[in-house]
Chains A and B, each alone.
Chain A
């Protein structure tokens, strides 16, 4: 009997509620003190096609999906055909024998044939309720506490719908218990851990709201639409204006306007939309207007694979827009970092009066992860040198005053005694347009002095993070959401007697050169893991540290790394 180490896949058509079912089950497991990770795979269509959700559940912390699953819930024949091969040899498959025209080809799988549709019809429920029947059946097979699923259903649905779903879950549970014996896997409740479960999009949204973001404008795009939805849902409870702009160009210019006026402002997009935003990004850079932009990467070029994941935009983000100006690029690797780094992003944007880009991707933004309850007070609001109410300087206010630190005290329009001129053209200290050579030089230097100042602040924050022991056979280097699969792969390698550690580079710009160098200098073999074709982070390392990594492990098919696959490639490289 395998206990508290289990992976389930739920598959069906788009519109079948696959992702919702996965999340429901995740919450039921979480409430029993277990640890979860859930990720979805869907195509760019609304109905039909094929969707699936993988939920991994364990007695200890779990950071990603596994390579195979132990149980498959198939809502259609297509799912059986596609995913039979993804089930472990002693695994099982739940499907509706009465609705299915095929039977699984593999003989080693346990077949759990449950009349999902018939049960729903007997309950006079909607077809989609067969999901709940199947979840009940799965809990029956796993001998888990059904009342925990009831609790989640009660919280997710209201009144009669909740009652119906509870009845459906119970029927599924009973059917499995009465008709099928030992599955070989069981889930046992543990001490409740008080964990949150959420997506990266939600974590960024929580961070933004907590940081006092008051103006959010965006154009819908996968995989960041989840953030737009989150912000829109909360607009009226948090004194915000959330505006669906006519496009990404509008969105970025709106947030520049909002931030100029003094509101903390944010937008989000994916690579294609960010292409459109680049001129506005430069406007923020030149006018020294604080903005926060989240970019959720997906495979390109162009439309690419719109609902899949990649890390191919790093170089683009670092250099986007014409000319040179300081910016901050941060790549959170999990939901906790999404929350705290978003809060920090708003502070850095205002303190240094520049654009901050949160570099994320589909896998990190849409997967369900658990986290300890966020501490809303860990990173307080810091607005930098801000003049409000009345300007009392002796001389006329200079929006772009040349200072030693590079930061010019920022007054907001409406401040008595201060005229605020923001200018996209090169400008003098007052904000009037200039074409003078020496002023152009002086202003460029002033803007870039902010980066040196920022690097000093970096000494006090976690710009990189080392996981695992100080000394190891191999040091893995990566950024962003590959963190999860890497940490899982490290466990697998450890079980095979291979000691690895992992350096996550959280801040990409300004680059934490000395922090990265410290780790790499004492490393044995170095391995870059990236979700792109050209190993963009390696090229950045070469630029910043004048050194290459020993091996590059790259993936560029849109699918996240699986830990088994990754551990094998690391072992081969050694």
Chain B
């Protein structure tokens, strides 16, 4: 059983004071403690960007990969060893821009792993450019006249695309976020949590205040998360009121459930020296 103390690392934190990532970091650590996971068997995968520093701040196994490719790396891991708890972090640019091609297949495959998107609607570490979740009119160094296309709706995409656990949290409410992360990890399949993460340096529009005035919790409104159409309707709610919480949940066999030949066995512990290809060789005689 891991403790908060064990999850600390000696690396000094370099996020901007007040960064939304602090809330996410706290929620993740508390969720790991609540889940009672082992540090050795929990793998945190991260890409490039401010979120990509997570592995330096959480003392579990990890892979700090490359920009946009956290889902494929997590896929290889989770499929190869189902005993691992694979928690994949990505930024909004990481997952929804550079790595968008991996999002749809991940939803369909329903591999037993978790995706947490640190969605601050801006590229932070490259000092302030728009991303596909930036709001229309958002001025950044790459869009000095304002973003001229509507933002991506990742929650709606996830529901339509076959997501089996689709949720949204807010870094400004780490307790609520922790609950969502715990549920996402426990979900038997692909647990996806998009997180509103205020960027205090580059996103002048979507601030803590802005979110606080708008977000409300779906579970407090009696939302039925098993109703796909209701979930989809909710995913389009944007403006004065923005829902957070669990939008949609569905029971569906995982990718590995559909591979009966390996069942829940890891591919890592098999005795490699004992492979017998004699019948294959005979096929070619």
A212 located at the interface, meaning its Cβ lies under 8 Å from any Cβ of chain B in the complex? yes
A472 located at the interface, meaning its Cβ lies under 8 Å from any Cβ of chain B in the complex? no
Instruction: Write the nearest CB–CB distance from B78 to chain A, whole angstroms.
Output: 8
A422 located at the interface, meaning its Cβ lies under 8 Å from any Cβ of chain B in the complex? yes
Q: How far is the CA of A240 from the CA of B280 in the complex (A)?
A: 15
Contact with A255, one of B56, B60, B76, B266 (Cβ below 8 angstroms): B76
- Write out the residue numbers on chain B whose beta carbons fall within 8 Å of the beta carbon of A238: 275
Given contacts A206-B277, A215-B267, A419-B59, contact A258 B285 (CB under 8 A): no
Instruction: Write the nearest CB–CB distance from A376 to chain B, whole angstroms.
Output: 5
Given contacts A253-B65, A255-B76, A256-B73, contact A196 B105 (CB under 8 A): no
Whether B72 contacts A257 by the Cβ 8 Å rule is: yes
Instruction: Write the nearest CB–CB distance from A340 to chain B, whole angstroms.
Output: 13
Instruction: Write the nearest CB–CB distance from A280 to chain B, whole angstroms.
Output: 7
A559 located at the interface, meaning its Cβ lies under 8 Å from any Cβ of chain B in the complex? no
B176 located at the interface, meaning its Cβ lies under 8 Å from any Cβ of chain A in the complex? no
We find that the number of chain A residues with CB closer than 8 angstroms to chain B is: 72
B102 located at the interface, meaning its Cβ lies under 8 Å from any Cβ of chain A in the complex? yes
- Write out the residue numbers on chain B whose beta carbons fall within 8 Å of the beta carbon of A282: 66
B45 located at the interface, meaning its Cβ lies under 8 Å from any Cβ of chain A in the complex? yes
CB interface residues, A 271-324, toward B, < 8 Å = 279-280, 282-283, 287
Whether B261 contacts A239 by the Cβ 8 Å rule is: yes
Q: How far is the CA of A322 from the CA of B224 in the complex (A)?
A: 49
- Write out the residue numbers on chain A whose beta carbons fall within 8 Å of the beta carbon of B76: 215, 217, 253-261, 263, 265
Q: How far is the CA of A431 from the CA of B9 in the complex (A)?
A: 12
Whether A262 contacts B268 by the Cβ 8 Å rule is: yes
Q: Please tell me which stretch of B35-43, B205-213, B244-252 contacts chain A, meaning at least 4 of its Cβ atoms lie within 8 angstroms of it.
A: B35-43
Q: How far is the CA of A455 from the CA of B281 in the complex (A)?
A: 32
- Write out the residue numbers on chain A whose beta carbons fall within 8 Å of the beta carbon of B273: 212, 380-381
Given contacts A245-B72, A246-B101, contact A257 B80 (CB under 8 A): yes
Whether B81 contacts A425 by the Cβ 8 Å rule is: no
A69 located at the interface, meaning its Cβ lies under 8 Å from any Cβ of chain B in the complex? no
B90 located at the interface, meaning its Cβ lies under 8 Å from any Cβ of chain A in the complex? no
Instruction: Write the nearest CB–CB distance from A15 to chain B, whole angstroms.
Output: 25
Given contacts A261-B84, A280-B66, contact A209 B280 (CB under 8 A): yes
- Write out the residue numbers on chain B whose beta carbons fall within 8 Å of the beta carbon of A524: none
CB interface residues, A 143-181, toward B, < 8 Å = none
A49 located at the interface, meaning its Cβ lies under 8 Å from any Cβ of chain B in the complex? no
CB interface residues, B 42-87, toward A, < 8 Å = 43, 45, 48, 53, 55-56, 59-66, 69, 71-81, 83-84
Whether B270 contacts A422 by the Cβ 8 Å rule is: no
Over the window 246-285 of chain B, the binary record of Cβ atoms lying under 8 Å from chain A Cβ atoms (1 yes, 0 no) is 0000000000000101100111111011011110110011
Q: How far is the CA of A238 from the CA of B274 in the complex (A)?
A: 11
Whether B101 contacts A247 by the Cβ 8 Å rule is: yes
- Write out the residue numbers on chain B whose beta carbons fall within 8 Å of the beta carbon of A237: 261
- Write out the residue numbers on chain B whose beta carbons fall within 8 Å of the beta carbon of A424: 48, 64-66
Q: How far is the CA of A32 from the CA of B265 in the complex (A)?
A: 45
Q: How far is the CA of A206 from the CA of B66 in the complex (A)?
A: 32
Whether B80 contacts A215 by the Cβ 8 Å rule is: yes
A498 located at the interface, meaning its Cβ lies under 8 Å from any Cβ of chain B in the complex? no
Whether A241 contacts B9 by the Cβ 8 Å rule is: no
Instruction: Write the nearest CB–CB distance from A374 to chain B, whole angstroms.
Output: 6
Contact with A376, one of B66, B78, B267, B277 (Cβ below 8 angstroms): B277
- With both beta carbons as reference points, the residue of chain A lying nearest to B108 in the complex is identified as A246
Instruction: Write the nearest CB–CB distance from B112 to chain A, whole angstroms.
Output: 13
Whether B40 contacts A416 by the Cβ 8 Å rule is: yes
B11 located at the interface, meaning its Cβ lies under 8 Å from any Cβ of chain A in the complex? yes
Instruction: Write the nearest CB–CB distance from B21 to chain A, whole angstroms.
Output: 15
Whether B280 contacts A263 by the Cβ 8 Å rule is: no
- Write out the residue numbers on chain A whose beta carbons fall within 8 Å of the beta carbon of B48: 424
Q: How far is the CA of A198 from the CA of B281 in the complex (A)?
A: 10
Q: How far is the CA of A234 from the CA of B279 in the complex (A)?
A: 11
Whether B267 contacts A413 by the Cβ 8 Å rule is: no
Whether A414 contacts B259 by the Cβ 8 Å rule is: no
Instruction: Write the nearest CB–CB distance from B241 to chain A, whole angstroms.
Output: 35
Given contacts A373-B281, A373-B285, contact A423 B64 (CB under 8 A): yes
Given contacts A414-B40, A422-B63, A425-B64, contact A262 B101 (CB under 8 A): no
- With both beta carbons as reference points, the residue of chain B lying nearest to A412 in the complex is identified as B268
Instruction: Write the nearest CB–CB distance from B59 to chain A, whole angstroms.
Output: 6
- With both beta carbons as reference points, the residue of chain B lying nearest to A376 in the complex is identified as B277
A142 located at the interface, meaning its Cβ lies under 8 Å from any Cβ of chain B in the complex? no
- Write out the residue numbers on chain B whose beta carbons fall within 8 Å of the beta carbon of A265: 76, 80
A530 located at the interface, meaning its Cβ lies under 8 Å from any Cβ of chain B in the complex? no
Whether A260 contacts B63 by the Cβ 8 Å rule is: yes
Instruction: Write the nearest CB–CB distance from A343 to chain B, whole angstroms.
Output: 10
Whether A250 contacts B83 by the Cβ 8 Å rule is: no
Whether A236 contacts B261 by the Cβ 8 Å rule is: yes
Whether A432 contacts B105 by the Cβ 8 Å rule is: no
- Write out the residue numbers on chain A whose beta carbons fall within 8 Å of the beta carbon of B61: 413, 419-421
Instruction: Write the nearest CB–CB distance from A411 to chain B, whole angstroms.
Output: 9
Known: A209-B277, A423-B62. 16 other contacts (CB 8 A): A215-B267, A238-B275, A241-B259, A243-B79, A245-B72, A246-B104, A249-B72, A250-B71, A250-B101, A253-B72, A257-B75, A260-B77, A279-B69, A414-B83, A417-B40, A424-B66
| 8 A-B residue pairings within 8 Å (CB atoms) | A196-B285, A206-B277, A215-B76, A246-B104, A250-B75, A256-B65, A413-B43, A433-B11
Which 4 pairs, one residue from A and one from B, show the smallest C-beta to C-beta distance?
A: A257-B76, A212-B272, A262-B268, A258-B76
Residues of B within 8 A of A (CB): 9-11, 39-41, 43, 45, 48, 53, 55-56, 59-66, 69, 71-81, 83-84, 101-102, 104-105, 259, 261-262, 265-270, 272-273, 275-278, 280-281, 284-285
